[in-house]
Amino acid sequence: MTSRDYLRSIGPDASSHSLNGILKQISNHVASKGHGGDVLSVSAVFEEKLYDLSLQGRDVLMEYTQANATHVSALSQIISKVYSQMRIIHFYTATEKEVKCWCLRKGKSILESAECIDATVARCTIHYMHLQIYGYLYGINRSFLRGEVVSFNDFHFHGGDRLKVMMEGKLKAETKKYVVNDGDIIEFFWRGK
């Protein structure tokens, strides 16, 4: 969160009338500063109640949220806001056995996303293959051929069927300069592999 965004803790004893008044004051203050920031309302008591329900089991939590559709956790809003302010997006890689989610700064190229993955793998295996990894990282730019990319929404719309995605023309071959979008699913292709 930045100085443009405000998060205020209000005690559990606050009435809904006083709470609305406080939130209105905060919203007016934010608007008067001209920052265009957001005001997020969070009830720690309510978040704790949802957490306690989740400990009782997923079914109990689902039953509560279905019966009280307007009672929604603010945590996802806070997380989304922080990711947005930090300009972080997600992309995915997938094989038949696993799907991995990776974080990347918005505006980065597909080559930089490949380097992100490679650096993560390199940190995990650095003790075993120090010299091989250094050589591999050095040559990543030259060995990258292309990435086949489909958005998560297109993939989901076609039921996760790669063939349908291809037939609809939603799977695209992209070069080093392609800017990765939030939710892209990428398969990387390398020279000599």
How confident is the model at residue 128, as a pLDDT? Answer: 38
CB atoms within 10 A of CB 105: 13
Read off φ and ψ for residue 4, nearest 5 degrees. -85, -15
pLDDT at 167 over 50: yes
* Mean pLDDT, the chain, integer: 77
Q: What is the mean pLDDT of residues 90-117?
A: 87
What pLDDT was estimated at residue 49? 87
Rounded CA-CA distance 58/98 in Å is 24
Looking at residue 84, its pLDDT comes to: 85
Distance CA 152, CA 167 (A): 16
Separate counts of helices (H) and strands (E) for the chain: 9, 5
CATH topology for 89-190 is: Ubiquitin-like (UB roll) (3.10.20)
Dist. CA 91–CA 75, nearest whole Å: 21
Q: Tokens 């040559």 sit at which residue?
A: 139
Other beta carbons within 10 Å of 95: 8
CB 147 within 8 A of CB 178: yes
Predicted pLDDT of residue 188: 85
Please check the confidence at residue 103 and state whether its pLDDT lies above 60.
yes
What is the arithmetic mean of pLDDT over 147-168?
A: 91
Written as one letter, the residue type at 55 is L
Q: How is 177-189 classified by DSSP, letter by letter?
A: TPBPPTTEEEEEE
At 35 the pLDDT is 62
Beta strands 144-151 and 88-94 are unpaired
38: left (phi over 0), alpha (psi -120 to 50) or beta: beta
Q: How confident is the model at residue 123 (pLDDT cuts 50, 70, 90)?
A: very low
pLDDT band at 47 (very low <50, low <70, confident <90, very high): confident
Neighbours of 138 (CB within 10 A): 10
pLDDT at 14 > cutoff 60:
no
Cα 53 to chain centroid, rounded: 25
Domain map of the chain by residue range?
A: 16-86, 89-190
CA angle 33, 37, 38 (to 5 degrees): 130
